[in-house]
């Protein structure tokens, strides 16, 4: 019996590519360049499985037309708002993701962004590397203290809780959060956190606001002009969730007008395109979507995809099915 044909849309950790190549008739993207819409559409008609990443956009239009050969999309990542789930389901395509394994590394990166934005580390490094540092002085690159401040978390899932734990127990921060569903107060207390009913309730008292909610239509531009206006003066925004959760034009306006003091961003609305006005701001820390970028986590994510695809073609239920 011939092996299922699968496409890996980007380069993955070598250990994962080896496993996939041993089990399937695997095509690897050796150039590691993003596939365009036409290439992805073609892939859906010639491969039994396509293994996409967040950089692969799979809107409803790609699923239209003739019968699709692909039976499973093994997504490399927790978020799947780049895939039109309804269109995939209508065509009978199973979709899986990789929950759980990237929690700690993403929470670590959110903490890095918070500290970097508060203490102006990016500005300092750029100054030093440019040979512009003239030496220590009392008023040089004065930032804001983190310990003892209030952090507000939007979305209290795995990553939100891990981030709360770091903030409260690592830096003595007060933690408040908003979540779509009610969290048992005893569970929240494990992370030193208190749930508030409205997002605005969180925004108005938080020195730092960190986003840990899903992307997609339901949360598109959750942080908009009105909500930036509701933030505490001098506060910072941290985003390691999804770029579409933030209205970038409204964020830029809030920063330029001094409504908020700064931001730390790992995700963007139109990745990899970042607005020039945002890139020009010294009070914004910008990272190229590195939330899960550790050797351990990226390998674990790939192995999760492999497990899901192997189970599917063995006639078993994929453990991380989302559609």
What amino acid positions are annotated as catalytic residues?
242, 271, 289
Which three-class secondary structure state does DSSP give residue 53? strand
DSSP state of 285: E
Q: Which of 316, 211, 244 is nearest to 80 (CA)?
A: 244
- DSSP letter assigned to residue 76: B
Neighbouring C-alpha atoms within 13 Å toward the C-beta of 208: 33
Q: Of 298, 319, 290, 236, nearest to 13 (Cα)?
A: 298
In whole angstroms, give the CA distance from residue 285 to residue 123: 9
Identify the burial level of 318 via C-beta atoms within 10 angstroms of its C-beta, where 0-12 means exposed, 13-18 middle and 19 or more buried. Answer: buried
- The answer to whether 142 touches 123, Cβ cutoff 8 Å, is no
* Residue of 220, 191, 216, 196 whose CA lies nearest to 206: 196
Between CA 276 and CA 274 the distance in angstroms is: 6
Measured between alpha carbons, how far is residue 185 from residues 154, 182, 226, 239 in Å? Answer: 16, 9, 29, 25
Whether the Cβ atoms of residue 212 and residue 110 lie closer than 8 Å to each other: yes
Phi-psi region of 155 (alpha: psi -120 to 50; beta: other; left: phi over 0): left
Nearest to 152 by CA among 257, 223, 214: 223
């Amino acid at each position: 019996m011939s092996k299922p044909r699968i496409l890996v849309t980007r380069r993955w950790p070598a250990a994962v590519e080896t496993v996939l190549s041993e089990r399937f008739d695997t095509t690897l993207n050796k150039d590691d360049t993003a596939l365009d819409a036409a290439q992805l559409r073609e892939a859906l008609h010639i491969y039994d499985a396509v293994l996409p990443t967040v950089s692969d956009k799979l809107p409803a239009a790609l699923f239209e037309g003739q019968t699709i050969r692909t039976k499973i999309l093994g997504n490399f990542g927790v978020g799947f708002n780049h895939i039109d789930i309804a269109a995939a389901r209508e065509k009978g395509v199973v979709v899986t993701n990789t929950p759980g394994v990237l929690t700690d590394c993403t929470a670590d990166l959110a903490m890095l962004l918070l500290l970097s934005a508060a203490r102006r580390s990016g500005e300092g490094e750029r100054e030093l590397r440019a040979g512009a540092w003239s030496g220590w002085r009392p008023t040089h690159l004065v930032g804001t203290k983190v310990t003892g401040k209030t952090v507000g978390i939007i979305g209290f899932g795995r990553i939100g809780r891990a981030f709360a734990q770091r903030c409260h127990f690592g830096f003595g921060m007060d933690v408040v959060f908003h979540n779509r569903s009610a969290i048992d107060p005893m569970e929240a207390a494990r992370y030193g956190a208190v749930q508030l009913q409205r997002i605005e309730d969180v925004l108005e008292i938080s020195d730092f606001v960190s986003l840990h909610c899903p992307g997609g239509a339901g949360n598109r531009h959750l942080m908009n002009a009105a909500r930036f206006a509701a933030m505490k003066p001098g506060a910072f925004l941290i985003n390691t969730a999804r770029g579409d959760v933030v209205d970038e034009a409204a964020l830029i306006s809030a920063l330029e007008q001094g409504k908020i003091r700064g931001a730390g961003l790992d995700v963007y609305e139109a990745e990899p395109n970042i607005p020039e006005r945002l890139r020009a701001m010294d009070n914004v820390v910008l990272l190229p979507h590195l939330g899960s970028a550790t050797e351990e986590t990226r390998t674990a994510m790939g192995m999760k995809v492999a497990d899901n695809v192997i189970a599917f073609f063995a006639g078993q239920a994929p453990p991380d099915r989302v559609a």
